[in-house]
Amino acid sequence: MTTPLESLVASGTKLWLDSVDPELVKQNIAHGATGATSNPIIISDLIGTGRFDDQLGELLGSHDDDADVAWAITDKVVKDAQGQFHGVWQKTNGNDGWVSFELDPLLEDADCPLSVEEKAAKYIELGKQWSAGHDNRMIKIPATPGGLAAIEELCAAGVTLNVTLCFTMRQYEEARDAMWRGAQRRGSLENFKSVYSIFVSRIDVYTEKHAAELSDDAQGMVGIVNAQRIWQANQEFWADKGTPLQQEIIFASTGTKKPEDPKWKYVAALAGSDIQTNPPATNDAVQESGQTFEKKVDQLPPADVLADIDAKVDFAHLEKTLMEEGLKKFADPQKKLIAKIGEKRAELAGV
């Protein structure tokens, strides 16, 4: 009998895990997962389990700076996850089997003194540094002014990118166009792969507050419609570019925020193509749902719902608001991760 997650994969979705927890990686590979992503929250939670104390002890003994330890343990955990998915990467010739490694979120901290140009230069430096020597490591870079300004150069240098913190068509198009410019500077498109992480559920949280006048049919659908439209634009753009590998959308932030919504709401609506990075709890809920998933990503709601969304949602304001919130969620976890390393240093030293 086909399980719900197996039916999701069979519909055409690549299932990536929003975690690099070794135990969850193994569990979700058994369910059909073929890739993963990491971020400071995931790493911090892993450190909190105590399962990495031996490795941390070694790193703390050889590094005096807690931030250096945070990056060293992140590098190791992501590398271990890459090992779990490397066979998929080989089998698909690099089209799947990737694990995302997020560049320094503190570059987007409100207190960061760097200019956009300086941030871009730092992203380029770090992207090259953390990708070097890795087959299936995908460098995660945000769709901020500094991140967007770094895409062309990183792509041209052969770095495989996951553009994250994308909320709108404008961000996606700017990232995609920079990516394509960089790709064309390569000697060959053979190994060119790019993905664009479109955040879904946070948009519906925004519209409840800032577009309360939406009809009942449209409210709660904006995140889905936005993601579907960007997916369609991405399909159309790459159709004639002749890239051997797929240039794909990642449907991110797929966990529901409202208790009354089915936990597989976004999973079902965006099933059938490209990639979903689902939190472990969402995958568990999907697996327990008893649902059979079919391709729905190409099925937009009725014209009157689309017209209502277009008339009442200010996407420029949406992007500004969600980026402000997102950047705080982006930078603060890295600070907490570094602080947790400091706590572990004291704990393991017996202070």
- The answer to whether residue 40 is domain-embedded is no
In this structure, is residue 194 part of a structural domain?
yes
Percent over 90 (pLDDT), the chain: 93
Structure tokens at 159: 């770095």
Contact 200, 251 (CB under 8 A): yes
Name the token pair of 303: 């014209």
Q: What is the pLDDT of residue 330?
A: 83
Mean pLDDT by 10 residues, the chain (351 residues): 95 97 95 95 91 92 95 97 98 98 96 97 98 98 98 98 98 98 97 98 97 98 98 98 98 93 97 96 94 98 98 98 91 92 87 54
**Cα 23–Cα 166–Cα 292 angle in degrees, nearest 5:** 55
With respect to residue 351, please indicate whether it lies within any of the assigned structural domains: no
Residue 305 domain-assigned? Answer: yes
Q: 76: Cβ–Cβ under 8 A, 6 or more apart, which residues?
A: 55
Q: What is the pTM of this model?
A: 0.96
d(C-alpha 287, C-alpha 264), whole Å? 9
Who contacts 196 (Cβ-Cβ below 8 Å, separation ≥6)? 162, 163, 166, 172, 175, 176, 230, 234, 248, 249, 250
Residue 112 placed within a domain = yes
CATH of the domain at 157: 3.20.20.70
Q: How far is CA 128 from the centre of its chain?
A: 19
CA–chain centroid gap for 315, Å, is: 21
Q: What is the pLDDT of residues 272-281, one digit of tens each?
A: 999 999 999 9
- List 140, 193, 340, 344, catalytic entry: 140
**What does the pLDDT look like over 229-245, one tens digit per residue?**
999 999 999 999 999 99
**Residue 66 counted as domain residue:** no
Q: Does residue 295 fall inside a structural domain?
A: yes
Whether 236 maps to a domain, the answer reads yes
* 56: DSSP letter: H
Look up residue 105 and give its DSSP letter: G
* pLDDT value of residue 351: 54
* Number of separate domains in the chain: 1
Give residue 329's pLDDT.
85
For residue 122, the enclosing domain spans 4-35+92-326
Residue 140 among the catalytic residues: yes
The length of the chain in residues reads: 351
Which tokens in the block code for residue 205? 């949280």
Tens digit of pLDDT for each residue in 141-159? 999 999 999 999 999 999 9
| Phi and psi torsions of 283, nearest 5° | -60, -40
Partners of residue 17 on adjacent β-strands: 36, 278
CA dihedral 34, 251, 117, 79 (to 10 degrees): -20
CB proximity list for 324: less than 8 A, separation 6 or greater: none
